[in-house]
Structure formats: structure tokens, C-alpha cells
Amino acid sequence: MAFTGTPVIKKVSDRLFRITGVSLAGDATGTIGFSDKSSAAEVSLVAPTWEPYKNSEGEAVSLQDAVWVTINPVTDVTAAVPISVVKTGTGHLHFQIAVHNDTAATTSGGLEIYVEFH
């Protein structure tokens, strides 16, 4: 598991999850997905089926556009550690969030991660 620590998942609502208890080693990638995915993620969220939809103008909105990921550091670190997020997959069963520590050798502090569906 690229995330270190034990993930603590709080389902705030059907559209919002809070994940704590994890950090990332240098150059490590942790994955977040749904528990009923075809391939397992390191942190699994039990969510209603989140699918692409059409907005009020009739335009398709993908999960990459509709899912918002916010990451907050929750412990002190001596140097800022950049964290990047990549969202892949086209539907609920294939959607995955990759959270990457962009430094080569510095471990991130503790992370508070919010995953929200708009």
C-alpha cells in the first residue's frame, strides 16, 4: 500500500467522504476508488453509484469533472510537500483517484482528504 498509516473513512453524506490517518512516502502514489469497482483501490469508498451526467445545458459531465478532491496537511512538516491528484476511468466501476507525493525523498505529513461528488 503506497499510503502509509491506517485510513479512517468517514462518510459525511452520500456525496462527501473524509479520509484521515494516511500519509505518503516520497514519490509514492496511493489510490482511492469505490468498493464495488472491478479493480480494488487502496482506500475503498462505499458510495451510491456516481456516474457521468448531463448538466442543465445538456453537456456531458464526466466523473473527472464532477468529483472534487481536496487535500489538507494535518501535521507539521519541515518542508512543504507537493501532492498531485489524477482521476481516471469513465464510470463508477472504473473510476479511480491517484494521489501522488511529487517529492523524491520527503514523506508527507498526515493528510486529510475530502472526496466530493458535485
Q: Looking up cell 472534487, which residue turns up? A: 68
Going residue by residue through the chain, which has 118 residues, state the pLDDT in tens, using 9 for 90 and above: 699 999 999 999 989 999 999 999 999 999 999 887 666 789 999 877 788 888 899 988 888 999 999 999 888 767 778 999 999 987 888 889 999 999 988 889 899 999 999 8
Containing 63, the helix (H) or strand (E) segment is: helix 63-66
Range of the domain at 58: 3-117
d(CA 68, CA 60): 17
Tell me what pLDDT residue 19 has. 97
Q: Please count the other Cβ atoms lying within 10 Å of the Cβ belonging to residue 17.
A: 20
The total number of structural domains in the chain stands at 1
